[in-house]
Structure 1
Amino acid sequence: MPYVNIKITDEGVTAEQKRKLVQGVTQLLVDVLNKDPSTTFVLIDEVNTDNWGVGYQLVTELRLAARH
């Protein structure tokens, strides 16, 4: 019973993109590990950019700096 947790920033990911992630990860586990897709769980956590840091900065700050 595989369980995969994907964490992404909450920057406009569509339902279709999430569906593709779930389908793709599930298929990868089927292909590589011969897992049963009916018992494969994929959880997507969307994290606010104020709650995600890279290096010494919040992703929100990094995104703002990249725009300027």
Structure 2
Amino acid sequence: MPDITWEPAFCGEGNNCFRLGTDGDGNAYITVNGQEDRYLTDTREALRALITDIKAGKADHLL
């Protein structure tokens, strides 16, 4: 398992909590809080693009 530094959890309504993390190799991670052993990973740039697009409303149709 990579050495991941996890940020504090981001929680929405109904305790839907997610955590973001990074490692020393430039990878980014996202997981459900409490399930840090099961995560998705990509580059930091890809995670940054995802968050930017979500903030811009590009994923609103999924809600």
TM-score normalised by length of structure 1: 0.26
More strand by share: 2
More helix by share: 1
Q: Which structure has more RCO (C-alpha within 8 Å, separation ≥ 6)?
A: 1
